[in-house]
Chain A
Amino acid sequence: MGAGRLYLAVAAGGFRRYATYRLATAAGVFTNTVFGVILVFTYLALWEERPGLGGYDQAQAVTYVWLGQCLFATLAIQGGGAEKELMERIRTGEVAVDLYRPVDLQLWWLAGDLGRAAFQLLGRGVVPFLFGAAFFPTALPTDVARWAAFTVTLLLAGVVSFAIRYLVALSVFWLLDGTGVNQALMIAGLFFSGMLLPLNAFPGAFGEVVRVLPWAAQLQMPADVLMGETGVAGALAFQAGWAVVLLAAGRAVQSAATRRVVVQGG
């Protein structure tokens, strides 16, 4: 079996695993829709007070909300993807089994997480997004090329999201318990991804900093590409740059961890 096919199979497995919980998925769709409605009204009030905030008009702000709800589970913005299971496997020592396998540890987990993300996007993300587009004024392009570019940014966003969470998960090799880092991951993810407010609308120098952090690759970049607020090439380069840096850091930490850490278990 070729390496490519192997990782495709792992990704398909990740997809199917999450597809099993249909009722939980439906419940998640409901929750994302409710939160979307609440946020849309607050954003509409905000943009009525400050038209053009962050370069968005009201329809664009609304689109941003529904894209956020769509990608919330897909990109595991507050955690809860592959990294959660990996942390548990490191804690219990089961990760030793993963290290035996004649596959690349990072790619194995990346493939599984992208499979999960694909399911979360189709099963959980699309419906709230369509609901939002149907009941609120949105700013969606009719240009096919724009949607194609958007799809690529989604894939890169998925890789960056995984790369951050993989690094965090590896810290458990030293910390042994993931509770604290999980919490930090959750706070950073919600805040720096722009789930509270589009990063474009963050004030002053603070805004400048927030917009170049890796979390900006997750929601802000796909949203701006979809709505034509940023150049496609620049956005893709930004995302790909962070993906490469973070994946490389993950590999470095991984080799340090497997060289000097004793696997837990009895």
Chain B
Amino acid sequence: MAERGAVVEGLRAYRLIAGMWVRSSMTYRTSFAVTVVGNLLLTGLDFVGILLMFSQVDRLGGWSLPEVAFLYGLSVTAFGFADLVLGSMDALGARMRDGSFDVLLVRPVPVLAQVGADRFALRRLGRITQGLAVLGWALSAVDVEWTAAKVLLVPVMVLSGAVIFGAVFVAGAAFQIVAQDAAEVQNAFTYGGTTLLQYPPTVFGNDLVRGVTFTLPLAFVNWVPAAHVLGRPYPVALPGWTAYASPLVAAVCCGAAGLVWRSGLRAYRSTGS
């Protein structure tokens, strides 16, 4: 029961802090509009890169442009939601260094909620918008025999994917507590992860695919379920039910990230400055 109370309390605090940052960013409306557009363009560059590649070829790793766009839309949208909710966690290293993390610890509010909502930025909607646009186009362009299960799998992928990326953000933040400052290492897994998943698994070496399937299960954000939807063979042999296992994987990732976060918090030692 106490656990439940903490969750409700955390969500309430998150809402309040995020609301404060939204109001503050809305003070400069033009600047806000410009940064949303800029964010949209910046995150869209990866897709421009993919379009440039497809201006020279018809297939990449055996996958067509709409199929790659399907992967891209799923990866970017799922990552976009995780980034909107927890994207400021990569700024934790700076708080470690200047000692302002101590302030968060003495407030009667769950630390995770404070860190997650810190500098909450609605401009990150740019990435989600862009991802959804590409996903929408891909859905209309891919050649798929849609069944009810496959249709349902699309929103399930986006949600589970967002949770899996969220878990990576939280685990990365815990790592920053231990390493003091290594935001770039976290970027390698978050931004690197979403970039990796924009391309077909057949492009990558089998060891790499196995690694992101079994060790750091990013493959369940889109690769495994999307290969099933598109009827493409997955480079690593998996039983059929795994195409629907993303929510389960997301739940396990959440649990693991929670444990890592707690042990990270316990290991925290203030810089004292």
Q: How far is the CA of A159 from the CA of B78 in the complex (A)?
A: 40
* CB proximity of A132 to chain B, nearest CB, Å: 14
Q: Which residues of A contact B180 (CB under 8 A)?
A: 23
Q: A42-B60, A186-B42, A201-B56 are in contact. Are A179 and B35 (CB under 8 A)?
A: yes
Q: Is the CB of A197 within 8 A of B53?
A: yes
Q: Which residues of A contact B46 (CB under 8 A)?
A: 196
Residue from the list A38, A179, A184, A203 in contact with B55, Cβ < 8 A: A203
Does A28 reach chain B (CB closer than 8 Å)? yes
Q: Is the CB of A196 within 8 A of B45?
A: yes
Does B57 reach chain A (CB closer than 8 Å)? yes
Taking CB atoms and an 8 Å cut-off, the chain B residues in 168-196 that contact chain A are: 179-185, 187-189, 192, 195-196
Q: Which residues of B contact A201 (CB under 8 A)?
A: 52, 56
* CB proximity of B52 to chain A, nearest CB, Å: 5
Residue from the list B41, B179, B205 in contact with A23, Cβ < 8 A: B179
Residue from the list B39, B48, B60 in contact with A46, Cβ < 8 A: B60
What's the interface size class on A, roughly?
20 to 34
Residue from the list B38, B58, B61 in contact with A45, Cβ < 8 A: B61
Does B208 reach chain A (CB closer than 8 Å)? yes
Interface size on B, residues (CB 8 A): 39
Q: Is the CB of A49 within 8 A of B60?
A: yes
Q: Is the CB of B45 within 8 A of A191?
A: yes
Q: How far is the CA of A34 from the CA of B46 in the complex (A)?
A: 16
Q: Is the CB of A30 within 8 A of B184?
A: yes
Q: Which residues of A contact B16 (CB under 8 A)?
A: none
Does A107 reach chain B (CB closer than 8 Å)? no
**Nearest residue, chain A, Cβ from B44:** A187
* CB proximity of A168 to chain B, nearest CB, Å: 14
Q: Is the CB of B192 within 8 A of A38?
A: yes
Pick the 5 closest A-B CB pairs, nearest first. Answer: A196-B49, A27-B184, A183-B38, A34-B188, A31-B188
29 of the cross-chain contacts (CB-CB < 8 Å) are A24-B183, A24-B184, A27-B181, A30-B188, A31-B185, A34-B189, A35-B188, A35-B195, A38-B195, A38-B196, A41-B203, A41-B204, A42-B199, A42-B203, A45-B203, A177-B31, A180-B31, A183-B34, A183-B35, A183-B38, A184-B38, A187-B38, A187-B42, A190-B45, A196-B49, A197-B52, A197-B53, A201-B52, A202-B52
